[in-house]
Amino acid sequence: MAIFLTVAVIALIYIVIIQIAKASEYVSVLKGEDVSRKQNNKINGFLMVVFLVLGLFGVWYCNNLYLGKTLLSVDSASVEGARVDSMLWITIAVTGSVFLATQIILFWFAYRYQEKEQRKVFYFPHNNKLEVLWTIVPAIVLTVLVVIGLRNWFLFTGEPPKDAMVVEVTGKQFNWIFRYPGKDGALGKKYFRNIDDANNNPLGIIWDDQLSHDDVVFDKLILIKGKPVKLIIGSRDVIHDVGLSQFRLKMDAVPGIPTTMWFTPKYTTKEMKELTHNPDFVYEISCDQMCGNGHYSMRGVIDVVDQEEFDLWMAKQKPQYLMAFPDKDPSNKKDSVKLAVAPVETAGKTIAKM
Amino acid sequence: MSNEAVIHSPVEIGAHEEHGEHHHHHETFITKYVFSQDHKMIAKQFLITGMFWAVLGGLMSVLFRLQLGYPDASFPWLETILGKWAKGGHITPEAYYALVTTHGTVLVFFVLTAGLSGTFANFLIPLQVGARDMASPFMNMLSYWFFFAASVVMLSSIFVQTGPFSGGWTAYPPLSALGDASPGSQTGMDLWIVSMALFVVSSLLGGLNYIATILNMRTKGMSMTRLPLTIWALFFTAVLGVLSFPVLFSGFILLIFDRNFGTSFYLSDIFVNGVGALPNEGGSAILYQHLFWFLGHPEVYIILLPAMGMVSEILSVNSRKPIFGYMAMIGSLFAIAVLAFLVWAHHMFVTGLNPLLGSVFVLLTLLIAVPSAIKVFNWLTTLWRGNIRFTPGMMFAIGFVSLFISGGLTGIWLGNSALDIHLHDTYFVIAHFHIVMGVASMFGMFAGIYHWFPKMYGRYLNNTVGYIHFWVTIAGAYMIFWPMHYEGLAGMPRRYYDYSIWESFKQFAELNRFISTVAMIVFAAQLLFLFNFFYSIFKGRKMTSLNPWQSNTLEWTTPLRPGHGNWPGEIPEVHRWAYDYGKDGVDFIPQTTPVGADESHH
């Protein structure tokens, strides 16, 4: 019922507008096109200024409402992201002032130079000085922005500091898998044909590679405050994207082509809860590249903790190797001492070779 | 009631000219309205087909905005319309992504490419350069019918059982290549790609024709530097299309091979849930993105340049002043056209692109801001000390400049890779390209329609409806897209079906509802325009003058309703550029007026 009512009301509005429009057309013909054009001109010239004023008020009002809900209201969660923020503010200042100046000029000119009987237009086809001026000034301003931008860009995409920890991030429809290199600090090799979800090998790790034996696979990303981290990003199926909005960075996950990204977390999750005044705050990884019908739900969680807490957590983790081969796990055997040394040699026999 | 008599009284002009001497061949209904080779009729065909798609594409956006604005509400009538795609009155994720994808494809290609440059290149090129028709009217006809075929195939894809393609309008593989990864990538994608291939053929046939006509068929005296800026803009548009669409086509061919013939151009190392490891190895998913964006970026200028050209013309005519910096305008169009080919990878800053390569693309991308700035300042100076007539066309032209500024400035943010790495694929991007490319070009198109409607149909559009249409649309467009910048600055990703599970993005539920509501109102205002358009074709106020805007260009020297061939008798000779408005105190001097002895030089 409500829907019919809505339709009826909308139809009524249409009819009213159209009738008014028709009537005004008759009036304009009766009065003469010239007269009605001048009337319309006055109304619309006035509306140009009204629109400018209301528009600028709207810009201010919108900013009031929503700036606090953006990331600009909180400090960047990564050391590098702070550079994005400062660059954002510079760019806002530059483009914002150009925006204000040109919009005001545009609507003001429209109002100011509306048709008047007595006005003689100024025949002004070109002026080289002016044209050179507004070629060179934007070029200089843009050069400054490019220089700032590229310095940051090369920092973001350059080599991470030597002491960076490494975590592998793999996207799949529709969640994330994280792999830590374990004590040896190196990730074991993997091959996509070895992927076997049923047998605890969601990444296709090659168990023949002994480096893989202490790799820890986890469904959550735990990072250390103040310690640079290098993410090695890949995908199991289609293109995904590791979107880290609080850290101000993102990078695609492309099947077959590993990508990397590094940054230094600045605040623990706990600290961010206080900074944002949001007790539910959590670092989220959003998939930012359309990856299928579950794209919107491809959510990962990051926990930033301090070193101590991280070590404690790490100590509790069981390497994926032992999940895939429970019989090799010393804690599963009563007689654990003997077997603890042995598993390495016999490991890879049952699965695909490199 | 004698109102009809009043409104339609001054019908004297041109009535007898309609059967000019150039009307030799007898036209049947089929040759006149269906398989017409008259550029003016083909233009109208493009326009009306484009409008059909604009309504459909706009309606799709209303539907998916319904989901975004009211994620928890249930609309039983949706199930009545969409069936299984809206079970229980909720649009399903499949349907949501299909709507988003089809909206994008249709608006970019069918409305703002075919509907915009298809319409106005066809309509204006012969009329403004002084030619009887296109270089090849037959190819021109084929161009429309290939577009029509593309439309039919795209439309049919909406009705297949697995749904239309739903992987985003950019159709990145592997998602678009693997039916097992997304149901929309099955039959829906086959139809999508066939439709797009037909569309490429249509664009090439049209574009080659436009170039040939502009270069070879200008009337006597119409040197390149006397061309109206509309023609220059349409010329560069056509060049962009001819050089870049084949690259897109090659990308599609490889995609077809990967989809159907087991090749691995784009596929490597893939394990699909429920299927297992695929045999493909050695391909690069990024290769497709290079091929796609090699068209994709010029494409945004293919959309924008015609609007720029028409706006330049309309601003000048209605300011009663020459366009400021005519040569600089051509130069900046040229610069944009060249740079358009050298910036495509700025869409790929976060794909793992080589950082050094990325930095080159940053430089070239921000370079585009220079010619864009020149254009804006020149438009502003054109208004300065003019005598402005606010015709509906002029209003939309001014609106275009406003939107182009607003959307263009955010391009400086996104083109700078170090900022893009934060803002990429967020609502900031949505706001940017909808304002600068979507709405701005739409405004250019409206400006063109209001301005040239009298030439197309011999009648005026209703002014009052036109003004309401303008004010609602510009206010609405800003209310929809301006707040999206803030969503983007919160990192809110695009193409999400539901934000409620996200701690980081759920604070905008109320804003999303507001945006959706405004989107519906703006859509409703477009229906008003639609009514105005079709009503005025038959019942609009008749023209009292052959040159209603007192314009200099050649199209207004033709009879009221020019037949095939445009001018009865000789094609007029051109003696001057198109922008002698207010020169030596004379309001306007048409291009056909010989230069007087005592005229000043500029």
pLDDT score at B159: 94
pLDDT tens digits, B537-568:
999 988 888 999 999 999 999 999 998 899 99
A71/A110 same-domain check? yes
Of A66, A126, A284, the CB nearest to B502: A284
pLDDT range class, residue A34, cuts 50, 70, 90: confident
- Candidate from A97-101, B77-81, B511-515, B572-576 with smallest mean pLDDT: B77-81
Determine the Cα–Cα distance for residues B393 and A197; give it in Å rounded to an integer.
Answer: 62
- Put simply, whether A46 touches B (Cβ < 8 Å) is no
Cα end-to-end span (Å), chain B: 54
* Distance (Å) of CA A172 to CA A25, B276, B504: 61, 13, 21
Contacts of A203 in chain B (CB under 8 A): none
pLDDT range class, residue B131, cuts 50, 70, 90: very high
Chain B: nearest CA to A315, how far in angstroms?
A: 29
- Candidate from A281-295, A320-334, B205-219, B434-448 with smallest mean pLDDT: A320-334
Q: Is the pLDDT of residue A7 over 50?
A: yes
pLDDT range class, residue A156, cuts 50, 70, 90: very high
- Put simply, whether B595 touches A (Cβ < 8 Å) is no
Query: Does a structural domain hold residue B31?
Result: no
A9/A110 same-domain check? no
A195/A222 same-domain check? yes
How high is the mean pLDDT of chain B?
Answer: 92
Query: Does a structural domain hold residue A257?
Result: yes
Burial B344-370 (b: 16+ CB within 10 A, else e): bbbbbbbbbbeeeebbebbbbbbbbbb
Chains A, B: CB contacts within 8 A come to: 389
- Put simply, whether B523 touches A (Cβ < 8 Å) is no
Residue B182: give its domain's CATH number.
1.20.210.10
Give the residue from chain A lying closest to B476, CA to CA.
Answer: A55
Give the residue from chain A lying closest to B328, CA to CA.
Answer: A131
Determine the Cα–Cα distance for residues B313 and B162; give it in Å rounded to an integer.
Answer: 47
Task: Report, as an integer, the average pLDDT of A276-282.
Answer: 94
Query: Does a structural domain hold residue B89?
Result: yes
Substitution target from B432, B463, B506 for chain A, most A beta carbons within 10 A: B463
Q: Is the pLDDT of residue A327 over 90?
A: no
Long-range contacts of B544-548 (CB under 8 A, 24+ apart): B544/A33, B544/B10, B544/B13, B545/B13, B546/B13, B546/B14, B547/B590, B548/B454, B548/B460
Tell me if A292 and B175 make a contact (CB, 8 A cut-off): yes
pLDDT tens digits, A172-221:
999 999 999 988 989 999 999 999 999 999 999 999 999 999 999 999 99
pLDDT score at B17: 44
Query: Does a structural domain hold residue B494?
Result: yes
Residue numbers of the domain that contains A283: 165-350
Q: Is the pLDDT of residue A285 over 70?
A: yes
Query: Does a structural domain hold residue A125?
Result: no
- Put simply, whether B287 touches A (Cβ < 8 Å) is no
pLDDT score at B505: 94
Task: Report, as an integer, the average pLDDT of B458-478.
Answer: 95
Of A237, A259, A287, the CB nearest to B352: A259
pLDDT tens digits, B252-268:
999 999 999 999 999 99
Query: Does a structural domain hold residue B27?
Result: no
Give the residue from chain B lying closest to A296, CA to CA.
Answer: B496
A173/A291 same-domain check? yes
pLDDT tens digits, A77-96:
999 999 999 999 999 999 99
- Put simply, whether B225 touches A (Cβ < 8 Å) is no
Contacts of B73 in chain A (CB under 8 A): none
Query: Does a structural domain hold residue B561?
Result: yes
Of B321, B389, B494, the CB nearest to A124: B321
**Domain total for chain B?**
1
pLDDT score at B9: 45
Contacts of B370 in chain A (CB under 8 A): 135, 138-139, 142
pLDDT score at A335: 52
pLDDT score at B25: 62
A108/A206 same-domain check? no
What is the maximal distance between C-alpha atoms in chain A? Answer: 107
Determine the Cα–Cα distance for residues A267 and B309; give it in Å rounded to an integer.
Answer: 51
A17/A77 same-domain check? no
Restricting to A residues 315-354, those with a Cβ less than 8 Å away from any Cβ of B are none
Query: Does a structural domain hold residue A104?
Result: yes
Task: Report, as an integer, the average pLDDT of A232-241.
Answer: 96
Task: Report, as an integer, the average pLDDT of B352-375.
Answer: 95
Give the residue from chain B lying closest to A250, CA to CA.
Answer: B421
Query: Does a structural domain hold residue A286?
Result: yes
Query: Does a structural domain hold residue B286?
Result: yes
Are the C-beta atoms of residues B492 and B426 closer than 8 Å to each other? yes
Tell me if B482 and A59 make a contact (CB, 8 A cut-off): yes
Restricting to B residues 6-45, those with a Cβ less than 8 Å away from any Cβ of A are 6-7, 9
Query: Does a structural domain hold residue A142?
Result: no
Record the tokens describing residue A69, joined without a space: 């809900």
Are the C-beta atoms of residues A168 and A144 closer than 8 Å to each other? no
Chain B: nearest CA to A208, how far in angstroms?
A: 19
Residue numbers of the domain that contains B476: 39-268+279-588
CA geometry: angle B127, B128, B132, nearest 5 deg? 35
A266/A278 same-domain check? yes
A20/A76 same-domain check? no
Question: Which residue is listed with tokens 């083109």?
Answer: B415
Chain B: nearest CA to A338, how far in angstroms?
A: 38
A5/A43 same-domain check? no
A311/A179 same-domain check? yes
Q: Is the pLDDT of residue A108 over 60?
A: yes
Q: Is the pLDDT of residue B113 over 50?
A: yes
Is pTM beyond 0.80 here?
yes
Query: Does a structural domain hold residue B600?
Result: no
Residue B353, by phi and psi: left (phi above 0), alpha (psi -120 to 50) or beta?
beta
pLDDT score at B100: 96
pLDDT score at A340: 46
- Put simply, whether B424 touches A (Cβ < 8 Å) is yes
Chain A: nearest CA to B399, how far in angstroms?
A: 9
Tell me if B418 and A94 make a contact (CB, 8 A cut-off): no
Tell me if A25 and B7 make a contact (CB, 8 A cut-off): yes
pLDDT score at B24: 54
A338/A204 same-domain check? yes
Query: Does a structural domain hold residue A124?
Result: no
A103/A176 same-domain check? no
How high is the mean pLDDT of chain A?
Answer: 90
pLDDT score at A1: 66
Record the tokens describing residue B511, joined without a space: 């804003």
- Put simply, whether A16 touches B (Cβ < 8 Å) is no
pLDDT range class, residue A76, cuts 50, 70, 90: very high
- Put simply, whether B406 touches A (Cβ < 8 Å) is yes
The residue type of B285 is A
Query: Does a structural domain hold residue A141?
Result: no
pLDDT score at B602: 60
Task: Report, as an integer, the average pLDDT of A141-146.
Answer: 95
The residue type of B209 is N
Chain B: nearest CA to A178, how far in angstroms?
A: 17
- Put simply, whether B521 touches A (Cβ < 8 Å) is no
Of A71, A122, A158, the CB nearest to B385: A122
Tell me if A40 and B467 make a contact (CB, 8 A cut-off): yes
β-bridge mates for residue A262, sequence order: A230
**Domain total for chain A?**
3
Record the tokens describing residue A141, joined without a space: 């301003």
Substitution target from B67, B101, B381, B390 for chain A, most A beta carbons within 10 A: B390
Contacts of B413 in chain A (CB under 8 A): 88, 91, 95
- Put simply, whether A2 touches B (Cβ < 8 Å) is no
Query: Does a structural domain hold residue A333?
Result: yes
Give the residue from chain B lying closest to A44, CA to CA.
Answer: B390
pLDDT range class, residue A25, cuts 50, 70, 90: confident
Query: Does a structural domain hold residue B197?
Result: yes
Chain B: nearest CA to A247, how far in angstroms?
A: 8
Restricting to B residues 440-479, those with a Cβ less than 8 Å away from any Cβ of A are 462-465, 467-468, 471, 474-475, 478-479
Task: Report, as an integer, the average pLDDT of A144-172.
Answer: 95
Tell me if A88 and B413 make a contact (CB, 8 A cut-off): yes
Q: Is the pLDDT of residue A350 over 90?
A: no
Q: Is the pLDDT of residue B6 over 50?
A: no
pLDDT score at B146: 97
- Put simply, whether A107 touches B (Cβ < 8 Å) is yes
Secondary structure class of A109 (helix, strand, coil): helix
Bridge-based pairing state of the strands A229-235 and A165-172? parallel
Task: Report, as an integer, the average pLDDT of A117-142.
Answer: 92
Q: Is the pLDDT of residue B358 over 90?
A: yes
Contacts of A250 in chain B (CB under 8 A): 350, 421-422, 424-425
**SS3 assignment for B489-529:** HCCCECCCCCCCCCCCCHHHHHHHHHHHHHHHHHHHHHHHH
